[in-house]
Amino acid sequence: MNDAAVRTHDTPGFALRFQSLFDDGRGFAFPCDERGEVDVSALSPRARANYLSARGAVGRDFGVPAVVEHAWH
């Protein structure tokens, strides 16, 4: 196993989190860089649709997205 694979798997990354305005336990999170930029082309079709939907519903269904540290499994 190379060092890049170990670093990617062992270190936390970042997620762009869209928190529901109506239900504290609900929302969406998408992998992103430290600036909150999501590589849309790397998302699955379902995740891409969810991302675009959440982005379009900010202020209506979701709060302003926040960049958070996240350990992807």
More confident residue, 6 or 64: 64
Task: Sketch the domain layout of the chain as residue ranges.
Answer: 3-70
Residue 69, token pair as written in the block: 């540290």
Q: What is the pLDDT of residues 15-42, one digit of tens each?
A: 999 999 999 889 999 999 999 999 999 9
Predicted structure pTM score: 0.78
CA distance 60 to 12: 30
CA distance 43 to 57: 19
**What is the separation of C-alpha 48 from the centre of its chain, rounded to a whole number of angstroms?**
11
